[in-house]
Structure 1
Amino acid sequence: MWPPCSSSAGIIILINQFLQIKRDNGAGILSMQDNSEQLREVFEHFNSVTDELIRAYKLLEGQVAELNSQLQQANDELVLKSAANERLAAKLTALLAAMPVGVVELDDAGVVTQINHAAGKLLPDLPTGRNWQMAEWLQRDSQDGEYLRHHPDGSISFVSAAEVALQDQGSFMLLVDVTHLRELHEQLAQQAKLASMGSMAASLAHQIRTPLATALLYAANLRQDNLPEAARTRFASKVVERLQALESLVQDMLSFVRSGVVAGEQARLEVNALLQEVETIVQPLLEKKQLQWLPELGGSAFVHAIRSDLVGALVNLVENACQFSPPQGRVHIGTALQGGYLLLRVGNQGEPIPDSVQQQIFDPFFTTRANGTGLGLAIVKRVVEDMNGSIKYLRDGDMTIFELRLPAA
């Protein structure tokens, strides 16, 4: 029997065996019949191996065809993806060029690699291939944290800048020209200011009209020739009283308008000493209404303020507390330090402020008192805000409290 062969090595073995048979025949070792039988077996085995090789080749050919098909499919997909990426890149390029926001592309080393049209218009002298230094192109605005761009023609652009980092691919600098937006804000603020001034003028006219009309009425009575001396004195006293009310209103108005506008007069003030000064000023009113003065002063604390403004604001708060406190009630004032701020509370046992008017109590000329000017709390709020502080109304038990939060010095 012949050994099984399933490869080209089998064919080589068969050929070698065939040659060996031929040599044996030449030597006369085997008979003709034996040679024929061996040759038949050799060729049969040769045919079997050949068929097996053909089947293996066809199988390999099919596998190659399948691999070629897969490769062609992958190549087609890659071409489609490449075309889609090219279209996306074209869209992004067009979008980048049309964006109103300036875009400066930086590599890992901070070198400018590309700028869009908006950035080139905002920074016309910015070249590519140069290190990006913010201070070289834009000047920081100390007021609101934006940047200034001074142009050769003398104009100024206000720019908002932000950096967007890309992972291992550099970053983008986004530059937004906010000059027009800033102008709109200034115009809006001017319009709001004019509207506020108109509202204040109307409220002031309303506040002045009543005492002025009363003073005119009493003054007209003084013109009577047969007026008794006692009545003349009483009418004159009423005229003076109404004129004093007008003077007080004007003074409050001036205090509201001028509070915080005097520059360079702020000083480092010790709070407890200020409160003792306030107590001296309001003592006659406390005694008149028989009110209990309950100071709760903490440790020594300091604030930066204009002395007259802060004392005036505190006096306003205490006088307001006295006005709304019931007879023989308690008027409380206390201080405490909290996280770098001074908390200063002024309270009384008066009725709570209705929810419907709590949003208006700090508005100029808003008052719930018949003879009030409505400027007291507005002045206090203005002074506190000029000190970068805040004021709020709250209710604590039976006490109505106004709490000032001022930066501690």
Structure 2
Amino acid sequence: MTKPETTIPASTQSASPSLDAKGLEEAFAIFYAESQKLEAQQIALQGKIDQLSDELQKSNQRLGILMNAIPAGVILLENNIVLLHNPAVLHFLPTLSSGQFFEIPGDWQPSIAPGEYLIGNTDTSGSKPQKTVQVIRIDEGIRSFIQIQDITANISLHQETQRENRLTAMGKMAAGIAHQFRTPLATALLYSSHLCDDSLTPDISQEFAERLRKQLLDLEKLSQDMLRFISNRPTKTILVSAHQIIDEAQASIQALFESNDVALVVQSNIPASCMLLVEPKSIPNALVAILENALSVSKPKDKVTLRAQVDAKKLMITIEDQGPGIASTIIDSLFEPFSTTSANGTGLGLSIAKNTIEAHRGTISVENSPHGAIFKITLPITSE
């Protein structure tokens, strides 16, 4: 039996090619439209790139003008290699060039404060004053920014201002100076007149001579203290261990504490690498002056505590006593010359200590505590 043939309508046979052509046309239309959009976006993006490039170029020009105008030296490093620098830096580092490994020159001498150096000493024409430069370094990942600035004039102005302030203070205390000299001088004159008396026995003459000598020594010490107060500033500084400074101060006054039956407790938490650029004797002497002040207000069996630690590149020293504290009428003027409540003191010890510490870029302050007074001292440190 033969199967009948299935006939496909003509309309159905022609519909498939027509639908395919229409779909392709729509697809091409969509593709073309999207291509137009992409092209427009590309043109807009290229315009933005050109605009940003132009702005970057102008910014670089402005930055270049600014860097060239800055009087301080500026260096940009990458992995400690010089990428670029401004012309001003050549005043400090004449041979510096791009691609060079950066390091502080070996002939730059560290100054008192961290990041400060003394440069230059002589030239062909003769003596040349040293300059003090400050080096500030900021690290951001592999890149570093360095600024080198001449601060010689600032330091000179600071020292001159300090000196003028001290001279002003001395002028205001002229009456106090006269009083300080008058009593020992009058006593010395009295003893010297007694020595002219031929009727004195040798023993009495010897006693008067010793008393005269003591008064003259007191006058000499007073005059030296006043000169130190006026002109005190570090002259020759060297790297000294912070431990050595604390130990020297303690050794200088330990016997005096023991003779007065007062305990001196030293609590030190200083790394071995903690170094200070100071005059070897001036800072221990300043600490001794503060310790003497604490001892003068202490009673037998009392305790004076000296604590030392490092915080944020500074040596922090506190000296705390168990005395009556500092009267409110004198605490604001405690570091002024001749400011003292002691009958035997000149009132210059703490003034000289303050000048010494500030001359080394440090600070000193005092406040009362529930159990006495606390002196707080900070000094900049330099690690080896």
Shorter-chain TM-score range: 0.5 to 0.7
- Structure-to-structure mapping, 1:34-53, within 5 angstroms: none
Choose between structure 1 and 2 for higher RCO, CA contacts under 8 A separated by at least 6 residues: 2
Contact preservation (8 Å) 1:259, 1:309: no
Query: Are the aligned partners of 2:276 and 2:380 in contact in 1 as well (CA < 8 Å)?
Result: yes
Question: Letter of the aligned partner of 2:313 in structure 1?
Answer: G
Give the match's secondary structure for 2:323.
coil
Unaligned runs of 5+ in 1: 1-107, 112-129, 142-184
Report deviation, 1:357: 0.8
Output aligned runs, 1:120-199, within 5 Å.
133-134=65-66, 139=71, 195-199=168-172
2:205 corresponds to 1:273: no
Q: 1:238 aligns with which of 191, 196, 211?
A: 211
Q: 1:230 to 1:276 in 2, by over 3 A?
A: same
| CA deviations over 1:299-355 (Å, ceiling 9, x no partner) | 323322211111111111112211221122112111122222221012221111011
Whole-angstrom CA distance in 2 between matches of 1:279 and 1:307: 15
CA 234–400 in structure 1, closer or farther in 2 if over 3 Å, else same: same
8 Å Cα contact 2:234-2:279 kept in structure 1: no
Specify the code of the residue in structure 1 equivalent to 2:230: V
Query: Residues 298 and 131 (structure 1 numbering): CA distance in 2 closer, same or farther, change over 3 Å?
Result: closer
Residue 360 (structure 1) shift:
0.6
2:265 is aligned to 294
Q: Report which stretch shifted further, 228-237 or 379-388.
A: 228-237
Name the SS for the 2:354 alignment partner. Answer: helix
Residue in 2 aligned with 1:70?
none
Output the amino acid matched with 1:289.
N
1:189 to 1:393, Cα distance in 2 relative to 1, 3 A: closer
- Aligned residue identity for 1:272: H
Distance 1:302 1:399, change over 3 A: farther
Q: Which has the higher strand share?
A: 2
The aligned counterpart of 1:363 is 336
Instruction: Identify if the C-alpha distance between structure 1 residues 394 and 374 changes in structure 2 by more than 3 Å, giving closer, same or farther.
Output: same
Aligned to 1:285: 256
Change (3 A) 1:394 1:197: closer
Q: CA deviation at 1:297?
A: 1.0
Q: 5+ unaligned residues in a row in structure 2: which ranges?
A: 1-56, 74-157
Alignment equivalent of 2:194, drawn from 221, 224, 229:
221
| Count of aligned positions | 244
The match for 1:306 is 279
Residue 390 of structure 1 and its aligned partner are, at CA, apart by: 0.9
Distance change (3 Å), C-alpha of 1:193 and 1:282: closer
Distance 1:384 1:231 in 2: 45
Tell me the secondary structure at the aligned position of residue 377 of structure 2.
strand
For 2:175 and 2:289, how far apart are their aligned partners in 1?
24
Provide closer, same or farther for how the CA distance between residues 312 and 189 of structure 1 changes in structure 2, counting only shifts above 3 A: closer
Aligned to 2:177: 204
- The residue that corresponds to 1:337 in the other structure is 310
Give the SS at the match of 1:403.
strand
SS at match of 2:329: helix
Cα distance in 2 between the residues matched to 1:186 and 1:403 = 22
How big is the shift at 1:408?
A: 2.7
Contact 2:325 2:369 in 1 (8 A): no
Match of 1:20 in 2: none
Q: Which has the higher helix share?
A: 1
Question: Which is greater in Rg?
Answer: 1
Partner of 2:358: 385
8 Å contact 1:214–1:242 — kept in the other structure?
A: yes
User: What RMSD over aligned residues (CA atoms) do the two structures have, in Å?
Assistant: 3.4
DSSP-derived class of the 1:237 partner? helix
1:193 CA displacement:
6.2
**1:293 to partner: Cα distance:** 1.8
**Contact kept? 1:260, 1:309, Cα under 8 Å:** no
Change (3 A) 1:188 1:236: closer
**Cα deviation, residue 243, structure 1:** 0.8
